[in-house]
Chains A and B, each alone.
Chain A
């Protein structure tokens, strides 16, 4: 009887410890600070104000997972940003760079690297060039199922379906296909589908459509913001 009781006690203690682990998802390193600094400019060298730089970490608790901000700051009118960040131990530190201005769409970056932490006390971004995003919509009207292959030679091309918001929904592990080629299927039920191609460099995009036995090949220049092409099959 006693052994059963002590068994229950042990299980209860283990459960409480696990719960405690779940409640304290991230450990911040004692006695450590990281200086994050840099200057954001356009390709022409003009300073960009309002770029938000954040240090983040993955929270890997027993029951929870999410992201938390360790520090964040906005670039000033000279494009300069300088902030002091906490560090995590253990954990991975991520650097998140996003434009907060609605006036134009600029590149955003999230870089996660465990080597940021442990040793580093300085993350110097230097002069960081942010390019404007060029987006082109290819509207396809079709009455039957269509297989398509969309390919671009520019390494930074993103290819998405439907609208801007879906661009970020790709699996991060699928980087190669995200940036170079996308092959998929357009269901006949939709009748109108939009492929949206975004890039920061002028580039040529090749589109191959296959509907039944018919095959069509197109070539588009993605070189202006918010251009649009229409294809009727």
Chain B
């Protein structure tokens, strides 16, 4: 009776199968000097078949000029993707409406400029792509966090949506939505608290 238990006690502690002699992502390595099992890519390394020759798409530039047209079709799916990615990676600082009043600036970070400034409303789309890819001022680059260039373009497209949203004429909305909104208020809206007191 005791023998199997002793056997279990002795052999049960071996973790060889748990910790096999292979690396998992981000594990510590005793072999490499920087102790990283996940090896950093040498600068300029490219995966075979992924040479990024299309500078309009991969850098947002045509020669020295920032591209003014999207280098990919802007579809509803791209905008939806852009909205999702924008809310993950950009809204913490730029705010969900793009006015630069995100949560992080409210805690002491530098306020990013609002997308609704004339300067940025007139900036070419390539400019936004370039800032995401290479950073600008206090903003570090997001090329590692937003790895897929298509996602960066999706975000740029969504920034254009945000910019449009502040200046969109009423006629932009489909008729049924316009009916739902009703006529524009003639006078400034009376604060809710005042109407409550009047009743």
Decide if A and B are genuine partners. no
State the B residues within 8 Å of A (CB). none
State the A residues within 8 Å of B (CB). none
